[in-house]
């Protein structure tokens, strides 16, 4: 790999690390303020005796849409700064 490609990958990794750190700080702060994750109405949970299964269907769909929008926006912004 060329030097330019490695620096590009390094920048992406640094940006991802900063993004994950910020997301962790937000989640931590929300938890400290008493926010709880109850799930969405489309999430399913089943119980059989001592076993319980939780299927976060609606949460997964919402998370997928949000991540798609954020990643698309990120690619768009990165492309604008590249030229």
With contact defined as beta carbons under 8 Å apart, do 57 and 43 qualify? yes
H/E stretch holding 38? none
H/E stretch holding 41? none
pLDDT in tens, 68-82: 998 898 888 888 877
Compute the CA torsion angle 66, 70, 76, 82 (nearest 10 deg).
-160
Q: Please calculate the CA angle 37-50-35 and round it to the nearest 5 degrees.
A: 10
In the chain, where are the structural domains located? 1-36, 38-83
pLDDT in tens, 17-60: 998 999 889 888 888 888 777 778 888 989 999 999 989 999 89
* Dihedral (CA of 66, 71, 77, 80) sign: negative
Give the pLDDT confidence score for residue 65 in this predicted structure. 94
Give the pLDDT confidence score for residue 47 in this predicted structure. 92
């Amino acid at each position: 790999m060329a030097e330019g490609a490695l620096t590009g990958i390094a920048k992406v990794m640094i940006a991802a690390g900063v993004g994950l750190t910020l997301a962790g700080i937000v989640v931590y702060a929300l938890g400290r303020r008493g926010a709880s994750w109850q799930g969405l109405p489309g999430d399913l949970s089943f119980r059989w005796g001592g076993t319980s299964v939780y299927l976060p269907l609606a949460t997964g769909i919402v998370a997928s849409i949000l991540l798609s929008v954020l990643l698309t926006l990120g690619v768009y912004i990165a492309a604008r700064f590249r030229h």
